[in-house]
Amino acid sequence: MPFEKNIVMLSRMRDARIGKLAAAKPFIAGTVVEYEKVCGNPRCKCARGEKHRAQHLTYKDENQKTVSVYIPADMLGEVKLWTQEYKRIKDLLQQISDLQREILRRHVTQRRLKKGRP
């Protein structure tokens, strides 16, 4: 029956994506924002135009307010990798959910066909 094969194929695709979750590395939700700023000291280099570079991780808290956390310069590369890993995992979870939804739809259709209903 074509629906059974499709369900088996979808299940294999889902299981392959679940397997990729097992290889997850450290991750963090948020966006890395890099910017330049002036500190306000009139004797500083930034007062002459050479601004300080800074970076923050921004994310939404439980009240949907934007929160910003300073990222030390020596951790910038690592934090960028963490945010990339979070996006990869989030995408995998969405794919798994979509496959599960399609398996559910096809199961219902298959059951109806077995009972002789269109």
pLDDT digits (tens, 9 = 90+) for 64-104: 999 999 999 999 999 999 999 999 999 999 999 999 999 99
pLDDT of residue 16: 94
- Alpha helices by DSSP H, listed for the chain, are 2-21, 76-114
Distance CA 75, CA 64 (A): 26
Residue 1, pLDDT above cutoff 50? no
User: What is the pLDDT, as a whole number, of residue 113?
Assistant: 77
**pLDDT over 50 at 25, yes or no:** yes
User: Which residue range is the domain that position 95 belongs to?
Assistant: 2-114
The pTM score is: 0.79
**Domain tally for the chain?**
1
